[in-house]
Structure 1
């Protein structure tokens, strides 16, 4: 479900923890997020303790690491579940036609925590299952095998870890021009609801409300099959028509990095 990698920095003085989540279909949202969080937290705790050079084998610390990571998740879970999910989001799940759904979502604003709470409550209270799909496409027919293990671009500065035949300028172009889509689908029988975000809409590069980060929404009521939606989410140039936009607030832009999977 999730692959955790420790990537040493180029200067050898630190490291980056990368959590690469696999696509999943029809699982429990809480279990999905719990697994990702706990596994990543265990790696962070393990490496933090290793730096302290404990006087006994690291294996002896595994029960403590497991217990601490689980406790950290339970704290985060309580925080998410304490979030007030906008009533109109729940109304959207229960609406029986597209017009009502678009009406409920008009002007909708929420935070990442509120959206996570919606996923959790939909699975726990409304018997939905959760699916996650993602795709990433590099420009100019670049192949992912040409990329270093990690590359981070901040303005004109390029930091990279690992070998690559590409120059810093080419790496900057790949990072700045790549496309990516991350979609989540809630299923309940023949009914489904898809919330997805692109790298452009997350970074405020789409021409909507002066660059406001946002999600897109589509459901079974829009006349497009679920299979076609998933196909479009995995394509380089998705085409799903004019869809409702949902304002995303308190969003920290993801680091502009390409990770080799």
Structure 2
């Protein structure tokens, strides 16, 4: 798991992002719990061998692990307290593209709320989560693999939230103002899921004009989402 530091253009806030592997149709709460604990262990200097179980944790590192677990449980509790907007819940119940676009028109979202929505969609509606990545080249970074799409699946129904590297940094422009964007599509958009994943992995350039949500600057949920 690699670490990357970004500076948000609007807030000048330092963001620590981790390069995570793609995964498919997992319990998002369990997956992010494991990832958050591992990230905390990495940030506190525990070796890869100890994290992987190839080497026994030292007494000090066992304490770091317990603190990482406590950190995740506290973080999960915070997400569970967040009230998910009705528009997002309705998004899961609507099977018309026009209705979905209307629900998201002018919608502003924080990463914390989005993460809470993903957890709620799993817990209450049975939606699993997949993550897919593309390659991006930036002036100040080498070519890196960045998480840029989440797809929630429940049977034949799926909802995809897609962001690009410049959106994470708040560099997209609307009416002369910088903002972050989270693009959206679903199974009712007439695009096959297999093709969506293919396009995401190649950079998403052929996905067409998609509705988007304005993404507010990150708080602390970069650790999760």
- Normalising by the residue count of structure 1, what TM-score does the alignment of the two structures yield? 0.68
Match of 1:164 in 2: none
Structure 2: stretches of 5+ with no match in the other structure? 4-15, 47-55, 220-225
1:188-212 CA distances to partner (integer Å, 9 max, x unpaired)? 0010000010012233333334222
Note if contact 1:46-1:65 (Cα within 8 Å) is conserved in structure 2: no
Match of 1:224 in 2: 191
CA distance in 2, matches of 1:89, 1:41: 30
Note if contact 2:128-2:152 (Cα within 8 Å) is conserved in structure 1: yes
1:99 counterpart = 2:65? no
Residue 31 of structure 1: how far off its partner (Å) = 1.4
Q: Secondary structure at the match of 2:79?
A: helix
Q: Secondary structure at the match of 2:178?
A: coil
1:3-55 CA distances to partner (integer Å, 9 max, x unpaired)? 267xxxxxxxxxxx9733100000011112111110111233346xxxxxxxx
Select the structure with the greater relative contact order (CA < 8 A; seq sep ≥ 6). 2
How many aligned residue pairs are there?
198
1:118-138 CA distances to partner (integer Å, 9 max, x unpaired)? 111111110011000111133
1:251 counterpart = 2:218? yes
Structure 1: stretches of 5+ with no match in the other structure? 6-16, 48-56, 139-171, 253-261
1:200-232 CA distances to partner (integer Å, 9 max, x unpaired)? 223333333422211000000100000111111
Relative distance call for 1:133 and 1:84 in structure 2 (3 A) is same
Relative distance call for 1:174 and 1:40 in structure 2 (3 A) is closer
- Normalising by the residue count of structure 2, what TM-score does the alignment of the two structures yield? 0.78
Runs of 4+ in 1 over 4 A off after TM superposition: 176-181
Residue 62 of structure 1: how far off its partner (Å) = 3.6
1:198 counterpart = 2:164? yes
Note if contact 1:110-1:247 (Cα within 8 Å) is conserved in structure 2: yes
CA distance in 2, matches of 1:229, 1:181: 15
Of 184, 188, 193, which aligns to 2:154? 188
CA distance in 1, matches of 2:143, 2:127: 35
CA distance in 2, matches of 1:221, 1:246: 18
Note if contact 2:170-2:217 (Cα within 8 Å) is conserved in structure 1: no
Note if contact 1:130-1:186 (Cα within 8 Å) is conserved in structure 2: yes
